[in-house]
Amino acid sequence: MAVPATDPYPPVGRTLVLPGVYAPQHDTRLLAAALRRHGVGQGHELLDIGTGSGAVALYAAALGARVTAVDIARRAVLTARLNALLTGRPLTVRRCDPTAPGARLPTRYDVVVSNPPYVPAPAAHPPRSGAARAWDAGWDGRAVVDRICAAAPRLLRPTGLLLMVHSALCGTDRTLDLLHRSGMRAAVDDRAAIPFGPVLGSRLPWLRARGLLSEGAEREELVVIRAVPEDSGLHV
């Protein structure tokens, strides 16, 4: 689909999306715009956590970054690999969870990006399979976001950059606070208000009953969080 000239967010290219894999949406383009805004490209090693279709990883590769894309879902890994082949972009795709306790990757990265599952759900724990695994993130929507906040310092190089997108419904201030406690300096880098999608639309009464959404709210706010190591000397 063509993006209007007045749209500040870039298209992320056509990608194959297998059933059960998260398709590129508003949050994908917000994250891609953040990569471009912060000059990610040649000379940067980048890690994409929860790559899904690989759309953001492929966009980073198109900018010139050396990209490793990871996901815990086999179908997502297959999709990202297929899209790398179809686009001819150099992409390393692995099935792993670098946020798991004790997880170790062979290197640290200049940039870590993530569009993790972040939708609050009635179930206390995220699903272990199925399409909802790509968006449902427990009672407060933070099952994966919190792990990324904790893992970011050991995944990044001393002057590295974390860019993560999620819904304000799961707590923007909570993310900033956790990153600070992890030894990072963090701020909101971008915001966008979007119409409710099918998942949130089906949960409006539950979200309002929990106080996560006001009665008159008609849109969801997405935020891009930017963070750097506390001792990096970089500003946020």
Q: What is the CATH classification number for the domain harbouring 206?
A: 3.40.50.150
221 assigned to some structural domain = yes
pLDDT tens digits for range 48-60: 999 999 999 999 9
The answer to whether residue 53 is domain-embedded is: yes
The pTM of the full predicted model, rounded to 2 decimals, is: 0.92
Domain housing 103:
26-230
pLDDT for 236: 77
- Distance from C-alpha of 127 to C-alpha of 66, rounded to nearest angstrom: 31
pLDDT of residue 162: 98
User: How many domains, in total, are found in the chain?
Assistant: 1
**pLDDT score at 1:** 28
Q: Percentage of residues in the chain with pLDDT exceeding 90?
A: 78
* CA gap 195, 51 in Å, rounded: 23
pLDDT at 169 over 70: yes
Nearest to 208 by CA among 166, 165, 168, 169: 169
Domain annotation covers residue 58: yes
Query: Residue 45 pLDDT more than 90?
Result: yes
CA 199, 205, 210, 212 torsion: positive or negative? positive
Mean pLDDT calculated for residue range 140-158: 96
Does 235 fall in a domain? no
Q: Is residue 3 part of a domain?
A: no
